[in-house]
Amino acid sequence: MRTHSRQILTVEEAFGQQGWHCELVEGRDVLRASFDAHHTRVDLIAQAYPQLNALSIVSESPLTLDQDHLPKVLELLARANKQLTLGGFEYDLDREFLVFRITNLFEREKFDADIISSMVHCAIAELDRITPYAAIVRNTPDDLLDDLHLGRLLMREDIIPPVPGDEEEEY
């Protein structure tokens, strides 16, 4: 049986430092975790590529679409990707999942825990951010899809989850 790489073990350690539950996948340099975000439940996969000293974090959530709504959601993701600096959105057509993926190359075999945590936060936050926009598109009646302006939709801030620590405190 193949043992886990030092790289994925540092990811497991970083998750433990944050108090995040995760499970290593037997025989692969992969770990799985789940998180409750503001809008959705997020499944998270971390995969190490030891020969490259790379780590890919993938967050995903189910999103079933019919053939009328699929092109609009794909356009929404393409427009959202233009605004991103790190990572990118995808739609897994086979499994019907909304996906966000971010990858980093590390200098050493022992990955930096702060970078790992930032990648996880980013992957969860971005998927959680796009979910309500995708839901609006999915729930738009077929006869109104042509009238849906995706650029304006992405500018709406009333449906974006609050940034942790930015909420106003109630007294």
- Domain assignment present for residue 91? The answer is yes
Contact of 76 with 83, CB cutoff 8 Å: no
Chain-centroid distance of CA 138 in Å reads 19
- Domain assignment present for residue 136? The answer is no
Contact of 54 with 101, CB cutoff 8 Å: no
Please tell me whether residue 62 adopts helix, strand or coil conformation: strand
* pLDDT confidence of residue 167: 52
Structural domain boundaries, residue 96: 6-66+86-131
Q: Residue 58: what are its φ and ψ, rounded to 5°?
A: -125, 125
CATH of the domain at 47: 3.30.1460.10
- For the chain, the maximum distance between any two Cα atoms, rounded to a whole number of angstroms, is 57
* pLDDT confidence of residue 159: 85
Q: Which two tokens stand for residue 154?
A: 């992405």
| Residues in the chain where the model's pLDDT stays below 70 | 1-2, 161-171
Cβ partners under 8 Å of residue 97, min gap 6: 60, 61, 62, 63, 91
**Count of the separate structural domains present in the chain:** 1
- Domain assignment present for residue 165? The answer is no
Tell me which amino acid residue 75 is: E
- Domain assignment present for residue 137? The answer is no
Q: Residue 16: what are its φ and ψ, rounded to 5°?
A: -60, -40
* pLDDT confidence of residue 170: 44
